[in-house]
Structure 1
Amino acid sequence: MSVAKVYKGMKDVAVRALVVGACGFVLAGCDTLSSINPFDKGEVYKPEVVADIPAEQIYNDGLARLQKKDFESAAKKFRDLDKQYPYSDWARKGLVMETYANYEGGLYEEAIASGKRYLQSHGNSPEAAYVQYLMASSYYDQIPDITRDQEKSERAILVLQELIQRYPNSEYTADAKKKIQVASDQLAAKELEVGRFYLQKRNYSGAINRFRMVVSRYQTTRHVEEALERLAEAYMAMGIVNEAQTAAAVLGHNFPDSSWYKDAYALLTKGGVEPREDSESWISKAFRGVPQVGQKAG
């Protein structure tokens, strides 16, 4: 057994120093290691030299595995570039491709992790916007249905917004905006689902808080119409008629052809009142200057 095998895993620095010194002595004038190796069976130490694999070869090997859709193995190859050629341009390129391979392979958490590493060191590089987009897409592709926790939806929006802010002229900005809209729609749907549950249970204050979230934060989603109508329902049930009238009036002003407005109007007239906007209401203030679905900001 060689000295490398005998002392493999030892953590004591003094022992390692002793071994290194002994090896130098043996290589200089001894045929075997029996003088320092009690387990030696007469084996002769033969140092093995491993030739460095060129960075380009490692990179191309990773590309070849990508073409075969062996994404996990490809990611590992690209990761090897950083290990063998740290701080090099090959390492930087490899980190981009590692993020891409992880994303394509559905290894989203790994893609997010490698993407963060890249942006920490190369946030101003030409590929930074692309890496940010891959990170955002990794969150976005994990968005669950509305019955489950929406943390991934929230994270997707944050990273997509950061992409737009940091790289406003990138080719990924337009798609990022579309993804934000979809993720926001998902969050609004979740708030509505919970709000409807509270409304059914006659927990009107709890319901109002959920519908208010939709109206305040997700005004450009398709769920804002229902949220305004549900607010009118909840406020009428609580006897807060002024807010119910404002919710219906704002709904009618922004979505006059909506079936939800017809329901809100019928609800108010049944209670002996009509839609009327109070400009001091939080609902009225929330809608000032905000473009709605299908509209463009002026």
Structure 2
Amino acid sequence: MMDSSVKGGRGRAFRVALLVAGMAGVTSALGGCQSDPDIDISNYARSIEPADVLYNQGLANMEAGQLTEAGRKFEAVDKQHPYSEYARRAMVMSAFVNYRQARYSEAINTASRYLSLYPNDEDAAYAQYIVGLSYFRQIPEVTRDQRSSARAIAAFTEVIERYPDSEYVEDSQAKLRYARDQLAGKEMQVGRYYQERKEYVAAANRYRLVVEQYPNTRQVEEALARLVETYYAMGLESEAQTAAAVLGHNYPDSQWYADSYKLLKTRGLEPRENKGSWISRAGAALVGS
């Protein structure tokens, strides 16, 4: 028969062995969790941080130029403390950080989400401004597709009309003018293409669109001169004369006007405005009028 002390010693040893084995199993399980791509223990630990701590850490990261880390902090506030005051602020800051990092789609999406949740908030104008800036920074050269210009125009128009007293209106107006000039420039490019191919009706339609829809852009001066050329080529002398007259009234010292005047003279014509023409009506809205 086995001695009771031996039995007791072996029993205690067995229990210790089980305890050690159990701890090893726990450790192994935790290690497995940490290696599992779907479970991040460090993220879980951070989730206990208060919203204000995360938010202020994000601000500190921004000031230090650590934009990626700042973005993570602001996103953490939004995810871990949704609909809190700090989440609202963090959403705007996250949009700004994405914009600064040229992550324009993310900036637009975040700012748009903010606007859908808090359309009348004090930072709503800024969020809308970020949307405009993000589209504006994607405007390509005039020879390429100008959808970003059109979207920037829509976004900045929203800033100006919906938040007329905001500090972002003046810059929005300036960038709006540039974006509109890009759209007008694209129309001019297409018009010149048609004109070179002697498709004068198509060309004239493009130039007319510039004069009527983009009267306060730099493209109007050339558009009027091109109208003189295309109408002249089609034998529409009255329209050509009217275009030249409106061009001369608004840009009397322009080389475009000098060239248009010279062209009319080759047929013994001169600038003469027909008040019944669409060009005369559109001329009233031009920059130089």
TM-score by length of 2: 0.82
**Identity percentage over the alignment?**
49
Query: Which structure 2 residue ranges, 5 or more long, are not aligned?
Result: 1-21, 31-40
Q: Please report the RMSD computed on the Cα atoms of aligned residues, expressed in angstroms.
A: 2.1
Equivalent residues of 2:228, 2:244 under 8 A apart: yes
TM-score by length of 1: 0.80
Equivalent residues of 2:181, 2:214 under 8 A apart: yes
1:165 maps to a residue whose letter is: E
Distance 1:41 1:175, change over 3 A: closer
In structure 1, the residue matched to 2:164 is 168
In structure 2, the residue matched to 1:3 is none
Alpha-carbon separation, structure 1, partners of 2:271 and 2:129: 44
Distance 1:118 1:87, change over 3 A: same
Matches within 5 A, 1:87-126: 87-126=83-122
Does 1:251 find its partner at 2:247? yes
Match 2:48 to one of 31, 35, 52: 52
Does 1:131 find its partner at 2:143? no
**Number of residues of Structure 1 aligned to a counterpart in Structure 2:** 253
CA deviations on 1:82-111 (whole Å, 9 max, x unpaired) are: 211111101100001001101111111111
Distance 1:70 1:41, change over 3 A: closer
Alpha-carbon separation, structure 1, partners of 2:63 and 2:98: 14
In structure 1, the residue matched to 2:79 is 83
Alpha-carbon separation, structure 2, partners of 1:201 and 1:71: 51
Match 1:236 to one of 227, 232, 235: 232
Alpha-carbon separation, structure 2, partners of 1:194 and 1:42: 74
Query: Which structure 1 residue ranges, 5 or more long, are not aligned?
Result: 1-39
Q: C-alpha displacement at 1:291, in angstroms?
A: 4.7
Q: C-alpha displacement at 1:67, in angstroms?
A: 2.7
CA deviations on 1:261-285 (whole Å, 9 max, x unpaired) are: 1111111111221111111111111
Alpha-carbon separation, structure 2, partners of 1:199 and 1:175: 36
Q: SS of the counterpart of 1:279?
A: coil
1:292 maps to a residue whose letter is: V
Does 1:270 find its partner at 2:266? yes
In structure 2, the residue matched to 1:185 is 181
2:287 maps to a residue whose letter is: Q
Alpha-carbon separation, structure 2, partners of 1:215 and 1:149: 21
